[in-house]
Amino acid sequence: MAFLLTKTSLASHFRSQPQVDPSSPSRRGFHVEPGTREKALLAEDPSLRRFRSHKKGVSRIKKIGDVLTIVVVAGCCYEIYVKATMREEARQAKAAREST
């Protein structure tokens, strides 16, 4: 019983959020606007446009993967269903043979 009490108190300890002093600076620091060099590096470069990933192609591949996953899961469920019904039919046939 004591183990359960210590376990629940331990779990509640991990669930509780630590109190943070609002006057202390955040751990991530302050936001600083990017300079001209950073802005130039982040600007779109027309010579690199052909190497950009195409969102339509990526979304199409994701959809194909999702459909294939659904088909495989449905096939597995169907196989399980067929095996279960065949086993049940075999049991019923065996019971019918034994009763006659």
pLDDT of 38-57, one tens digit each? 998 888 888 877 777 667 78
So what's the pLDDT on residue 99? 82
26-49 mean pLDDT = 80
Max CA distance (Å), the chain: 93
Q: Encoding tokens for residue 13?
A: 């300890």
- Local structure of residue 76 (DSSP, 8 states): H
Instruction: Round to whole Å and give the CA distance between 71 and 64.
Output: 10
pTM metric for this prediction: 0.45
Model confidence band, residue 76 (pLDDT cutoffs 50, 70, 90): very high
Summarize the confidence of residues 12-29 as an average pLDDT.
Answer: 58
* pLDDT surpasses 70 at 3: no
What is the total residue count of the chain? 100
φ, ψ (nearest 5 deg) of residue 70 = -65, -40
